[in-house]
């Protein structure tokens, strides 16, 4: 088990670093030209029909009102109910919903396990609170493993048999799904075989935090190993959409921030206009020495091919 503990510490470190690196990568990118798409959720009442502040006379004279709460009313159903798939891809919804909830509930189980251990540290090991958390670990874990198993099986079926999807699948598409199925499935088999998977999982987290634990069964070791490996693998896949969705929505789809004179945005734009493009088409007139501002204000040349 020591090897698994080492792998787990390593995984946690890699996960945090890789996610942070990815987050910084997107956060540090230049503020692109506006590319919003309506409805923009924070537009308040106008978001009901997709309206914007452009509907208002002399909109630049008023302080722009943004209803951030409204963003939550869109994001929460999107995250927890998969609203977009419900509306536009109904046949996938059930499987995708179950698969995603498999992940959510299992993550919840992990979180509760850590809470349980923390309660132990706090001396509430045998309190009512602790028993309550213990019960919740079993409930969330059971729901997670069952939903995840059914969901990934359904998604695999769709990927295999749906002609629309088939041609776009790559090795990674199947690998990811089989990987998830292996985790959920092995966990679920442990569960129905009567193995105390949740007690062992809590024990595992306890061991990671310094409380010794023994009594693992081979099936749970396999479950935990695969789960850890998946967490290690996740930051390097498109599944990072669980957090990059923040950028696709807030930085792109809903980013309607106007560039007002004297504002922070204007300062950044001034910096971007100093970049020196190297595009090769002659009509651009870029030579790697002129900056964007100079290129954009230069006379257009005829469209001679490169």
Partner 1 sequence: MTKNNYGIAEFSQASEQLEHIEMSDLYPLPAPYDKLEEQPGWQKIKDAVKQDYESSLDDTIAVGIPKPKTEAEAEKYVAAFLEGMRKLFTKENNWTFLQPLMLTMEHCAKCQTCNDACPIYEASGQKEIYRPTYRSEVLRRIFHKYLQPGGKFFNSLKHGDIELNWTTVARLAELSYRCTLCRRCAQTCPIGVDNGLVTHELRKLFSMELGIAAKEIHEKGSVLQLQVGSSTGMNPLVVKDNMEFIDEDTSERTGMDIKTPWDKEGADVLLLHNAGEIMAWPENPGAFAVLFEAAGISWTLSSDLVGYDAINYGLWYDDVQFARVALKHAQIAKKLKVKKIIMGECGHAHKALMVIADRIFTSEFNVPRESSMTFLEEIFNSGKIKFDPEKNDFPVTLHDPCNMVRLMGIVEPQRRILRALAPRFREMTPHGVHNYCCGGGSGFAIMSPYNFRDWRISVSGRKKMQQILNAFKDEPAEANKYVCAPCSNCKGQIRDMFEYYGVWEKSRINYGGLVELMVNAMVDVKEPYIEWGMH
Which among 168, 189, 162, 187 is positioned nearest to 90, based on CA atoms? 162
Instruction: Please identify which residue in 72, 125, 248, 264 interacts with partner 1, judged by CB under 8 A.
Output: 248
Give residues with Cβ within 8 angstroms of 268, minimum separation 6: 30, 31
CB of 282 to partner 1, least distance (A): 6
Cα of first residue to Cα of last residue in the chain, in angstroms, is 62
Looking at residues 140 to 199 of the shown chain, list those that interact with partner 1 (rule: CB under 8 A): 164-165, 167-173
Could you say which of 1, 9, 24, 59 contacts partner 1 (CB under 8 A)? 59
Residue 3 or 28: the one with the smaller Cβ distance to partner 1 is 28
Residue written as token pair 């919740």: 136
Q: Is 45 near partner 1 (CB under 8 A)?
A: no
Omega into 9 within 30° of 0, i.e. cis?
no
Question: What is the spatial distance between Cα 202 and Cα 40, in angstroms, rounded to a whole number?
Answer: 42
Binding span for partner 1 by CB under 8 A among 77-85, 102-110, 130-138, 226-234: 77-85
Residues 256-275 that bind partner 1 (CB under 8 A): 256, 258-262, 265-266, 269-270, 272-273, 275
Interface pick for partner 1 out of 13, 72, 283, 287 (rule CB under 8 A): 283
Size of the site for partner 1 (CB under 8 A): 92
Torsion of CA 7, 13, 19, 25, to 10 degrees: -130
Tracing tokens 């009594």 back to the chain, one arrives at: 215
Q: Does 21 participate in binding partner 1 (rule CB under 8 A)?
A: no
Choose one: 32-40, 103-111, 184-192, 225-233; the region binding partner 1 (CB under 8 A).
32-40
**Selection from 215, 230, 219, 216 nearest residue 189 by Cα:** 219
Whose Cβ is closer to partner 1: residue 8's or residue 47's?
A: 47
């Amino acid at each position: 088990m020591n090897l698994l503990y080492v792998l787990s510490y390593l995984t946690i470190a890699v996960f945090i670093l890789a996610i942070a690196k990815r987050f910084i990568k997107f956060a540090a990118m230049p503020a692109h030209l506006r590319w919003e798409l309506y409805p923009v959720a924070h537009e308040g009442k106008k978001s009901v029909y997709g309206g914007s502040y452009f509907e208002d006379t002399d909109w630049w004279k008023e302080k722009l009102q943004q209803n951030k709460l409204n963003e939550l009313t869109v994001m929460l159903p999107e995250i927890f109910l998969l609203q977009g798939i419900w509306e536009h891809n109904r046949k996938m919804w059930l499987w995708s919903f179950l698969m995603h909830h498999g992940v959510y509930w299992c993550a919840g189980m992990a979180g509760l396990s850590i809470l349980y251990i923390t309660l132990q540290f706090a001396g509430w090991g045998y309190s009512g609170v602790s028993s309550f958390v213990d019960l919740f670990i079993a409930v969330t874990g059971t729901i997670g493993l069952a939903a995840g198993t059914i969901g990934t099986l359904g998604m695999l079926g769709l990927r295999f048999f749906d002609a629309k999807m088939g041609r776009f699948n790559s090795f990674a598409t199947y690998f990811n799904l089989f990987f998830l199925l292996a985790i959920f499935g092995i966990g679920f088999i442990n569960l129905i075989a009567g193995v105390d998977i949740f007690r062992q999982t809590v024990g595992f987290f306890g061991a990671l935090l310094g409380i010794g634990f023994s009594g693992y069964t081979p099936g749970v070791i396999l479950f935990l190993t695969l789960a850890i490996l998946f967490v290690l693998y996740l930051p390097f896949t498109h599944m990072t959409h669980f957090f990059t969705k923040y950028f696709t929505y807030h930085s792109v789809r809903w980013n309607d921030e106007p560039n007002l004179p004297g504002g922070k945005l204007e300062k950044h734009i001034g910096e971007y206009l100093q970049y020196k493009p190297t595009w090769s088409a002659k009509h651009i007139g870029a030579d790697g020495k002129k900056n964007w501002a100079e290129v954009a204000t230069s006379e257009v040349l005829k469209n001679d091919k490169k």
